[in-house]
Chain A
Amino acid sequence: MMDFLQFFCSGLLNGLVYALLGLGLVLIFRASEAFNFAVGEFLVVGAFLFYFFYFNWGLPLLIALPLGLGAAGVFGGIVERSVIKPLMGRPHLSMTIITLGLSNILAGGLQATVGSNPYNFSVSLPDLTLDLGPLIFPSTNVWAGILSLAFFTMILLFLYKTRWGLVIQATSESQPKALCFGINAQSVLLLVWAIAAACIGASGIVISNLGALSSQISVVGLRAIPVVLIGGLDSIAGALVGGLIVGIAESLTGAYLEPAGLIGFKEVVPYFVLLIALFIRPYGLLGRVRIERV
């Protein structure tokens, strides 16, 4: 029983990281109706930008973190202006497809600049190891959960408590309608991509801090696909729920099913859960119920 609780809670902590990753994808999907397949590279780029400020320049964490996330945001903005904006007015699928190409280009660029070797990545944070007798959670995992939750909450507050957040919601629903009221839809999209890139970059930092940073961690980005599909591509709460489900499912599978012989099942189980979720609700568990009128 205690074992189960241990694995369940570890999964929960990892799930929070996935949720943050999923949030970045949901924001983009709601605004541009595109799925960002370059999510893995966004994650690596974000982590390296922070690495640069924190480890190379040796800036204090509280300065390096905002700088790194800001730089990730600028990166997202550049992607929006150069790749996404030119496709405005074209079928939405074309944006999704171009992110596939972008993913390859960025992967090549990363290979050429930072290579594929791991970089030592341990941010000095106060020790928060949770030792509860039979249950023990390493400090990095606890920090991963806390930081992810903090970023997630910050973005939520921005989205639901500020004027700009409201305008993002409105523009995400319909660009022509937003234009009617003098909202500059293109600036809003730029902002959304910047926030989403910072969000994905933040999860990249957290993930690197669990082990090491290398361009290989871009595969974690792929795990965001079942996360957002389970929760609903357009649902922010869905990103949280989907993230937690995937985190827990992975952890429990790794603990119970893999030792029983199902080697590698951990990688597959999110898709397995996805299949079940889509049977129950085709738009994802919390996918927005479409308001239909005739």
Chain B
Amino acid sequence: MLSVENLRVVYQEVISVLQGVSLKVPDGEITVLLGANGAGKTTLLRTIFGLLPVYDGKIIEGNVFLDGVSLNRFHSSVIVKKYRITYILEERPVFWYLTVDQNLKAAAFSRPNREISGEIARVLKIFPKLGSLMNTKAGFLSGGEQQMLTIGMALMTKPKILLLDEPSLGLAPLIGRELFGIIRNLNRDGLTIFLVEQNAHAALSVAARGYVIEGGRIVLDGTAQELIHNKDVREFYLGVAGGDQQRFRDAKRYKRRKRWL
């Protein structure tokens, strides 16, 4: 199981972004992390994946554990190859100037050569549409196609755990729904998924558990059902008005007062 314990992270030695985050991503489940812009969601994923040094960030306290082993010191290439965790960047990490075929092959860098064609066939079974686009440069694909390719590329690394950063960002609602269907299917096939989302409705509908992060702290956690029915989550993330009707101005003041803290 992937878990994070009391993690404190700073950028450039001074900018404190995560202030004691703890959470668990149980094997075989979809765990969702909700939070507003700038709450520190991407930073948490970078930390788990060993990318902090690239962004001049540092863990000053706490640990990322995978089955009891601390991952704090590992480079992302080790985390992919040995610990089988793959991270999908918020901006879709397809290589624009490579074809779809080349993208899939480049992503399989950590796999032995002989497994690659089998893996590609497996990915094409999940995303048949990519098959007809094999020789198209990824930069010319539509947003939805790029997202499919991204997930296909992540699968080429044969992950056990997938870290997804706002996969539905910028996708049309219909494609977004298709995407969450795919995420659910991948999970049914055994993939553990840690999903960062702003689209709380769709995310909670596929997740087993969820956390809410605010200002670098986890302020709420529970099963997806609990979160869906939580009054604050309903108000802030699902856009459902609270129980007793208030005037608009009151509601706004109430929101400002109640910043989860």
List chain A positions with a Cβ less than 8 A from chain B: 88-89, 163, 166-167, 169-170, 173-184, 288, 291, 293
Contact = CB atoms under 8 A, between A and B. Distances in A.
Interface in B51-90: 51, 54-56, 75-77, 79-81, 86-89
A178 B77 CA distance: 10
A281 B204 CA distance: 51
Given A176-B54, A181-B109, A291-B140, A166 B102 contact: yes
Interface stretch (B91-99, B177-185, B223-231): B91-99
**Chain A, interface SS category:** helix
A180 B198 CA distance: 21
A88 B93 CA distance: 20
A180 B95 contact: no
B147 interface: no
B107 interface: yes
A182 to B, nearest CB: 3
Contact of A173 (B54, B97, B113, B154): B97
Given A89-B54, A180-B86, A167 B139 contact: no
B157 interface: yes
A182 B98 contact: no
B97 A169 contact: yes
A182 B139 contact: no
Nearest to A179: B76
A179 B51 contact: yes
A202 to B, nearest CB: 26
Contacts of B246: none
29 contacts: A89-B54, A89-B55, A89-B56, A166-B98, A166-B106, A167-B109, A169-B98, A169-B102, A170-B102, A173-B97, A173-B98, A174-B93, A176-B54, A179-B76, A179-B77, A180-B87, A180-B88, A181-B86, A181-B108, A181-B109, A181-B156, A181-B157, A182-B79, A182-B80, A182-B110, A184-B77, A288-B97, A291-B137, A293-B139
A83 B89 CA distance: 29
B153 interface: yes
B105 interface: yes
Contacts of A166: 98, 102, 105-106
Contacts of B137: 291
B109 A183 contact: yes
B96 to A, nearest CB: 5
B56 A180 contact: no
B98 A181 contact: no
A169 B79 CA distance: 22
Contacts of A169: 95, 97-98, 102, 106
A170 B101 CA distance: 12
Nearest to A169: B98
Contacts of B87: 180
A127 B75 CA distance: 53
A268 B194 CA distance: 60
Given A176-B89, A291-B137, A291-B140, A182 B95 contact: no
Nearest to B87: A180
B221 to A, nearest CB: 27
Given A173-B96, A177-B89, A182 B140 contact: no
Contacts of A175: 54
Contacts of A293: 139
A22 B76 CA distance: 33
A174 B54 CA distance: 13
B134 to A, nearest CB: 14
Nearest to A164: B109
Contacts of B89: 176-177, 180
A70 to B, nearest CB: 24
A170 B98 contact: yes
A183 B105 CA distance: 12
Nearest to B53: A89
A163 B105 contact: yes
A89 B98 CA distance: 24
Nearest to B88: A180
Contacts of A174: 93, 95
A171 to B, nearest CB: 9
Interface string B96-123: 1110001101111110010000000000
A174 B98 CA distance: 12
B68 to A, nearest CB: 22
Lowest 3 CB-CB distances: which A-B pairs, in order? A182-B80, A291-B139, A177-B93
Contacts of A182: 76-77, 79-81, 86, 109-110, 157
B106 A181 contact: yes
